[in-house]
Amino acid sequence: MASAAEQLAANLNFSAFAKAEELKKRIWFTLGALLVYRFGTYVPLPGINPEAFAQAFGQAQQGIVGLFNMFTGGAVERMAILALGIMPYISASIIIQLLTSVVPSLEQLKKEGEQGRKVINQYTRYGTVVLATFQAYGIAVGLESATNVVVDPGWFFRASAVVTLVGGTMFLMWLGEQITARGIGNGISLIIFAGIVAGLPSAIASTLELGRQGALATPIIIGIIALSIVVIALIVFMERAQRRLLIQYPKRNVGNKMFEGNTSFLPLKLNTAGVIPPIFASSLLLVPATLSGLGSTGDENSILTTVTALLGHGQPLYMLLYAALIVFFCFFYTAIVFNPSDTADNLKKHNGFIPGIRPGERTAQYIDHVLTRITCVGAIYIVLVCLLPEFLISATGVPFYFGGTSLLIVVSVTMDTVSQIQGHLLAHQYEGLVKKSKLRGKRR
C-alpha cells in the first residue's frame, strides 16, 4: 500500500495533468464560469447616471461600502447588475443554519441525509430571494436619495432595480452551485475569491501611486509588503495544522490466524470552520448599511445613519463586533460540520478506541474537549489575521484588498482548490495503475 502511494506521488507531474481530460474540462468550466461572473460586474444597472454615481461612491468608499465593494469584485463602484453579489445567499445560509439548531423539524431534515439537505437548500434559496429583495429595495431607495444619481426616480425605477439586482444574486447562486458540481473547488468561495483577486492589481497600483505622491512613506509600503508575506505564511501554517488523536484497534482472529491491532489517527483541523467565520461576520456587518439605505430620509442625525457611521470600516465598534462574530461563527460552524457523538459512535462500531478513554460517551466528551480547545486557538488566529492588518489600513489608508480578511480568503481558497486538483490527479493516476495491472493480468 505504501509503495503504491509512493508510486502515485512520483508520477504526479505535468504529464499526468495532460492526460487527465476530466480534470481539464472541470478547470476550463470553472474559468469560463468565473469569466461570465466578471463580465456581469461591468453591466450597469438601468436608470443610473454613471458620472453622478461615481462622485457619490467616491465619498463613501472608505466606509463599509468599500468592504462590500471588495466582496462583489468592484460591482458596487460601477453599480452593476451583480452589485448585491453573493452576500444575500451567505446571509440566508447563516439564518437557516441557526434555525436548524433550534427548530426540531429542520434538525430532523438535516438528519435525513441527501433528501433532507435538498429541502434545506431550497429553504436557503427562498431566504436568499427575500433578503436580496429587501437589500435591493434599500439600495434603490438609497440611490434615489443621492443627488442626480437616478435619471427618473419613482416606483418604476425601484421595481426594475429590485428585479435586476435580485436576478443577479440568484444567477450568482446558481453559478456557484454549477462550479461546485461541474468544476473545481467551492463555487461560492471561488466567486468571492475572483472578486478580491480582480481588484488586487488596481489596489497595488493605487498604493504605489500614494507612495509616489508622498502620501505613503517608503518604509510603510515595505512594511505592508512584509506584513502581507508574514500573514500569508501564518495562514498557510495554521490552515495545515492538525491535532491528531491516536485511534487503536484491538487484535482480531480470522480463521486460525491472529492479526495485530492497527493504529490510525483522527485528524482535527485547528481551523475547522475555514473562511466561513470572516465571511459570515462581514455579511452581518453589512446589514446596517442596507437598513440605512432603506430608511434614508436625508436626515444625517438619524439613528440608522449614526449606527452605520459607528460601524464604518476601521471604527472601534466595527472591530469589536467583527472579532466577536468571528469567534462565535468559529464555534458555531465547527459544531455544525463536526459532531463528536457521531464520530465516537462510528469508532465504537468499528471497535476503535482512544487509548485511556472509554468508548462511547466518554470518547465523545474527550473529542469535544480537544476540539473546543483547538477551536479557541483557531478563533484567536483568525481574529488576529483579520484585525491586525485592519489597524494598519485605518492608520495609513491602504486599500481594503491588503486586509487580513481578503488575504485569508485568497490563500485558503487557493489551498483548497489546489488540494482538490491534486485529489483529481491522484484518482486519475490510481485508475491508470489499476487499468495497467488488469491488462498485465489478462496477458499472463
Number of folded domains in the chain? 1
SS3 percent helix, strand, coil of the chain, rounded to 5, is 75, 5, 20
The predicted model gives 210-215 an average pLDDT of 78
pLDDT at position 7 is: 44
Top-ranked range on mean pLDDT: pick from 149-163, 282-296, 401-415: 149-163
Cβ neighbours, 10 Å, residue 326: 25
CATH code of residue 32: 1.10.3370.10
pLDDT recorded at residue 288: 67
What is residue 415's predicted lDDT score, i.e. its pLDDT?
87
pLDDT value at position 231? 84
**Per-residue pLDDT at 430 exceeds 70:** no
Instruction: Return the higher-pLDDT residue of 306 and 143.
Output: 143
The overall average pLDDT reported for the chain is: 79
CB-based contacts of 429: which residues, under 8 Å, 6+ apart? Answer: 8, 11, 12, 16
Provide the pLDDT confidence category of residue 185 given band limits of 50, 70 and 90: confident
* pLDDT for position 443: 59
Residue 257: inside a domain: yes
* pLDDT at residue number 168: 92
Q: Is residue 13 part of a domain?
A: no
277 pLDDT tier (thresholds 50, 70, 90) = confident
- Identify whether 73 is part of a domain: yes
pLDDT in tens, 405-426: 778 888 888 888 888 888 877 7
Asked if pLDDT for residue 1 goes beyond 50, the answer is no
Identify whether 353 is part of a domain. Answer: yes
pLDDT at 189: 86
CA dihedral sign, ordered 433, 438, 443, 444:
positive
Q: How confident is the model at residue 248 (pLDDT cuts 50, 70, 90)?
A: confident
Give the pLDDT confidence score for residue 3 in this predicted structure: 42
**If you average pLDDT over residues 396-403, what whole number do you get?**
60
Give the per-residue pLDDT at 11.
46
**Can you tell me the mean pLDDT for 264-276?**
85
Count CB atoms within 10 A of the CB of residue 413: 23
Contact indicator for 312, 318 with CB cutoff of 8 Å: yes
- Is 6 a member of any domain? no
Residue 177 has pLDDT above 60, yes or no: yes
What value does the mean pLDDT take over residues 364-370? 90
Long-range contacts of 4-10 (CB under 8 A, 24+ apart): 4/433, 7/433, 8/426, 8/429, 8/430, 8/433
* Domain membership flag for residue 384: yes
How far is residue 287's CA from residue 90's CA, in Å, rounded to a whole number?
A: 12
DSSP state of 262: P
Reported confidence tier of residue 174, pLDDT bands at 50, 70, 90? very high
Return all residues near 333 (Cβ < 8 A) that are at least 6 apart.
97, 272, 273, 276, 277, 280
Q: Which structural domain, as residue segments, surrounds residue 131?
A: 23-443
| Residue 76 grid coordinates | 458596487
- Is it the case that residue 2 has pLDDT exceeding 50? no
Measured torsion, CA atoms of residues 322, 327, 331, 336, in degrees rounded to the nearest 10:
10
Closest residue by Cα to residue 276 from 179, 186, 369: 186
Each residue's pLDDT tens digit, 376-399? 999 999 998 888 767 776 666 665
Residue 431 has pLDDT above 80, yes or no: no
pLDDT of residue 344: 87
- Residue 154 domain flag: yes
Report yes or no on 15 lying in a domain.
no
Average pLDDT for 238-259: 76
pLDDT over 80 (residue 353): yes
Structure confidence by residue, pLDDT tens digits, 197-206: 888 887 778 7
Amino acid 5: pLDDT = 44
